[in-house]
């Protein structure tokens, strides 16, 4: 068809593409609601499970009507299980979001929350407290020294990389290389700390590094919740811009988006989330890498849906891992960091290869 013929077509009533689009929106909403329901079921299941023997009726009553429950049941539910389950949910959301943002900022599908050295930096921050009894946050109460120091080290690492990169106008590849260099420096320092540590210190450090939900508290749940509740709405408001950044890369600038500023903001958000969560529960891999991919496979690249789906997927995977960590060996709660990969990888492989790679 010639251009003349094309352009003279009466287009006032055209609905090309819009019907398929609204069907697609409906499908995405369906996946989202389904995943949300699954997550809710997983959360309730996780709360019912624990090392103690608690009838599920008592547990449910303690949750819904704490005043009617026995004090023991109340303590088990409210002081032991609920903070752990909520931490699982928040950590899942935070790590998944951090991973998704890192993948966008670094324009690399293999990026994850720890790509720029957060895990090693947090580990070294913890080692300073455990092995050398020193901390940059020495003003904090003793019980928060470890968490605080790990948080400061990991956050400072990413912010340093971000600011250094933006000052010098570094390319994404250079940022990744810088991150790898920083990772190796902190790994070496961590290795050094482990080498000079005595047996008790070494054990504490190794267990700290191994992600575990059991070290949480209501205060830490609160801090992580505030972070998620502040960052998630901002990301939702920016979701069109993030889609444009993922779609058009640097050329998103032509659409009026300040690409450099958006990248920096997303990097800061990713660093805050990953640092806070790593400081709370240690290093938990896999979720941050895979949850964004699962979300994309299910609801596509429109970040209005992808970001929500990423959060829900992260929470679901983490809660399922928590359930598995309690059930695998009766009476023992395994570290969550071990479970996430063991459980998640088969699921991921099924999703990628078993369904032909395309869902929505």
- By the criterion CB under 8 A, which residues form the site for other proteins? 1-4, 6-7, 9, 11-12, 14-18, 20-21, 24, 236-241, 243-244, 246-258, 296, 300-302, 304
Q: How far is CA 230 from the centre of its chain?
A: 15
- Residue 91 CA to residue 78 CA, distance in Å, equals 19
In DSSP terms, 283 is beta-bridged to: 210
Output 86 or 238, the one with its CB closest to other proteins: 238
- For residue 182, give both structure tokens: 């920083």
Cβ of residue 245: shortest distance to other proteins, in angstroms?
9
Cβ of residue 33: shortest distance to other proteins, in angstroms?
15
Cβ of residue 292: shortest distance to other proteins, in angstroms?
13
Q: How far is CA 258 from the centre of its chain?
A: 25
92, 287 contact by CB (below 8 A):
yes
Output 21 or 132, the one with its CB closest to other proteins: 21
Cβ of residue 20: shortest distance to other proteins, in angstroms?
5
Cβ of residue 342: shortest distance to other proteins, in angstroms?
29
Cβ of residue 108: shortest distance to other proteins, in angstroms?
13
Output 81 or 246, the one with its CB closest to other proteins: 246
Spatial neighbors of 150 by CB under 8 A, at least 6 apart, are 122, 123, 125, 126, 275, 278, 279
Question: Under DSSP, is residue 283 helix (H, G, I), strand (E, B) or coil?
Answer: strand
118, 197 contact by CB (below 8 A):
no
- Residue 122 CA to residue 274 CA, distance in Å, equals 10
- Residue 121 CA to residue 113 CA, distance in Å, equals 12
Cβ of residue 344: shortest distance to other proteins, in angstroms?
22
Give DSSP secondary structure letters for 63-103: HH-GGGS-HHHHIIIIIIIHHHHHHHHHHHHHHHHHHHHHH
The 10 Å CB-count burial string (b at 16+, else e) for 88-109 is bbbbbbbbbbbbbbbbbbbbee
Tell me phi and psi for residue 193, to 5 degrees. -60, -40
Output 18 or 53, the one with its CB closest to other proteins: 18
- For residue 34, give both structure tokens: 């389904």
Output 134 or 258, the one with its CB closest to other proteins: 258
Output 220 or 243, the one with its CB closest to other proteins: 243
Output 26 or 141, the one with its CB closest to other proteins: 26
């Amino acid at each position: 068809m010639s251009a003349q013929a094309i352009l003279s077509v009466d287009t006032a009533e055209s609905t090309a593409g819009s019907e398929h689009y609204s069907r697609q929106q409906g499908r995405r909403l369906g996946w989202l609601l389904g995943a949300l329901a699954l997550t809710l079921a997983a959360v309730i299941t996780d709360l019912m499970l624990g090392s103690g023997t608690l009838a599920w009726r008592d547990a449910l009553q303690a949750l819904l009507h704490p005043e009617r429950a026995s004090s023991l049941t109340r303590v088990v539910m409210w002081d032991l299980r609920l903070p752990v389950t909520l931490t699982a949910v928040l950590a899942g959301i935070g790590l998944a979001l951090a991973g998704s943002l890192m993948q966008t900022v670094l324009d690399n599908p293999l990026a994850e929350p720890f790509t720029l050295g957060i895990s090693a930096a947090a580990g070294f921050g913890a080692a300073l407290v455990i092995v050398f009894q020193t901390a940059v946050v020495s003003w904090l109460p003793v019980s928060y020294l470890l968490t605080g120091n790990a948080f400061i080290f990991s956050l400072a690492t990413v912010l340093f990389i971000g600011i250094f990169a933006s000052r010098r106008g570094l390319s994404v590849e250079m940022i990744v290389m810088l991150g790898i260099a920083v990772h190796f420096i902190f790994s070496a320092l961590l290795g050094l700390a482990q080498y000079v540590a005595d047996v008790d210190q070494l054990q504490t450090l190794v267990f700290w590094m191994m992600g575990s939900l059991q070290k949480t508290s209501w205060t830490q749940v609160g801090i992580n919740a505030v972070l998620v509740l502040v960052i998630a709405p901002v990301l939702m408001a920016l979701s069109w811009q993030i889609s444009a950044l993922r779609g058009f890369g640097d050329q998103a600038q032509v659409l009026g988006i300040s690409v450099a500023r958006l990248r920096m903001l997303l990097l800061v958000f990713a660093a805050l989330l990953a640092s806070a969560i790593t400081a709370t529960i240690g290093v938990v891999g896999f979720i941050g890498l895979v949850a964004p991919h699962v979300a994309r496979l299910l609801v596509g690249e429109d970040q209005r849906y992808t970001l929500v789906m990423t959060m829900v997927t992260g929470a679901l995977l983490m809660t399922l891992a928590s359930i598995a960590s309690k059930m695998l060996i009766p009476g023992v709660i395994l570290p969550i960091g071990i479970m996430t990969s063991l459980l998640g990888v088969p699921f991921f492989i099924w999703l990628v290869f078993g369904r032909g790679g395309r869902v929505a």
